[in-house]
Amino acid sequence: DAKTTQPNSMESNEEEPVHLPCNHSTISGTDYIHWYRQLPSQGPEYVIHGLTSNVNNRMASLAIAEDRKSSTLILHRATLRDAAVYYCILRRGTGNQFYFGTGTSLTVIP
Amino acid sequence: EPEVTQTPSHQVTQMGQEVILRCVPISNHLYFYWYRQILGQKVEFLVSFYNNEISEKSEIFDDQFSVERPDGSNFTLKIRSTKLEDSAMYFCASTFRAGGGDEQYFGPGTRLTVT
């Protein structure tokens, strides 16, 4: 499965935007880009996904580079509740399971 | 909002004992999964299940593991003879479709402690 690269950790001040980067240079044409997060002591939680175009939902925005080799998850106003490990995952169009990397641990500073 | 539930939240067992972890997926979902996460490590895929049979499994999912959908609502993971290294969080997930653009819904997990 295609590999993603994320920074191990990031910090953000509360109520400021957060940009979480992900590199996926070996992405194939049928790979969807998914973002999940895992709050402490909880199961992974869906955040957003996209294929080629930028996507917005109530939780976040996903900006996908034109060549699709990188993407950025944008949290518009970080709250303390957004402190979690964020995973960028590529999923094949015919794929089934998710392969999680080590993710980015986001710390939100009050 | 519908959610995946798992029981028990914490299971303690002795090495060599059998354990069954239970999950109730979202009711109209068709694809079911088990993942595990050893403390401090990443989430690892174990097995996927569709139409009453295993569709994919990882190398972790050896003969000690089995899955079953005994009725229309439950999805279980059985470990026949637990080892110390089976201690982990086990997450169940489900989805209606298994396409690349379909999200999986995860349960809160069962913490398994093998002593």
Q: What is the mean pLDDT of residues A16-36?
A: 93
Query: Are B56 and A96 an interchain contact pair (Cβ–Cβ within 8 Å)?
Result: yes
Closest-CA distance, A15 to chain B, in angstroms, reads: 27
Residue from the list B55, B93, B100 with its beta carbon closest to the beta carbon of A31: B100
In this complex, the residue of A49, A97, A101 whose CB is nearest that of residue B45 is A97
Determine whether the interchain pair A92/B100 forms a contact, defined as Cβ–Cβ distance below 8 Å. Answer: yes
Q: What is the pLDDT of residue A99?
A: 80
Residues of chain A contacting B100 with CB distance shorter than 8 Å: 30-32, 51, 91-95
pLDDT above 80: residue A97: no
pLDDT for residue B94 is more than 70: yes
Task: Indicate the pLDDT class of residue A5, thresholds 50, 70 and 90.
Answer: very high
Kindly state the average pLDDT of the residues A64-91: 95
Whether residue A44 and residue B91 make contact (CB cut-off 8 A), yes or no, is yes
pLDDT tens per residue, range A49-65: 999 999 999 999 999 99
**Residue range A98-109: mean pLDDT, rounded:** 91
- Section B39-61 average pLDDT: 92
Percent of chain B at pLDDT > 70 equals 100
| Res. A109: pLDDT tops 80 | yes
What would the DSSP string read from start to end of B39-57? TTS--EEEEEEETTEEEEE
Chain B stretch 39-78, residues whose beta carbon is closer than 8 A to a beta carbon of chain A: 42-45, 48, 55-56, 58
Q: What is the average pLDDT value for chain A, to the nearest integer?
A: 92
For residue B99, give the nearest of A44, A93, A102 by CB distance. A93
